[in-house]
Amino acid sequence: MKTVFIRGNHGDFTNYTAALLACGAQPVLSMHLEDAAACSGLLLPGGADMNPALYGQTNTASYDIDDSRDRDELALVRLFFSSDRPILGICRGHQVLNVAFGGNLLQDVPVPAHHVALGAAGDNVHAVHACHPLLRGLYGDDFCVNSAHHQAVGKLGHGLLATCTSADGINEGFVHENGLILGVQFHPERMGFAHRRTDTVDGARILEAFVRLLRDTSPNRL
């Protein structure tokens, strides 16, 4: 069984867990980090802003900060990276990964109308350009994704390679040079499976690519 750890309580992050199950992976949700020890991979989901002190900035536009979540997710990145286990970061998770590898964040994107959610209308949608074979192989040179964020990756962290960018220069994805760590600023779990939409590409492809990286940790497969 391929198992994916998510820091959270049972019943949290339902779109993410449904997407993992659809890809053949078993989500493991727990607030106890020791439960991550036997998991095949780590998923860092979306959520509120990180504490800017973690990337050397004062707080100018960050809110709903949860220091315990920041601390736990950074510790999980260190754990999974040190043991060569795959990690997927989505939206906030994409930003957590960048900070974990020494990068920083833009506390407000320069053109928020292109990126923030549209209230009752749901996610924004915009085009991105692939600048790495990983995303180009999944979706081609240019494609549309959903968007619901006011912060973004600034300086890329050590070992991270950009995979796609928006027209206004925002990093929308990266891969670590080890090939095991993926980050996307958009929400593939809301672009695939039961949430497949006609105005974006199929988010299932990214989640499936992540699950293919995982090792089966079933006792008879070790």
Whether 189 is catalytic: yes
Confirm if 146 and 186 have CB atoms less than 8 A apart. Answer: yes
Whether 131 is catalytic: no
> Which among 23, 39, 73, 91 is annotated as catalytic?
91
Amino acid at 34: E
> Which among 94, 115, 149, 187 is annotated as catalytic?
187
> Which among 94, 189, 195, 208 is annotated as catalytic?
189
Dist CA 34 CA 38 (whole Å):
9
Confirm if 126 and 145 have CB atoms less than 8 A apart. Answer: yes
Amino acid at 150: H
Whether 187 is catalytic: yes
CA distances from 183 to 51, 59, 88, 108 (A): 19, 24, 6, 19
Catalytically active residues are 91, 187, 189
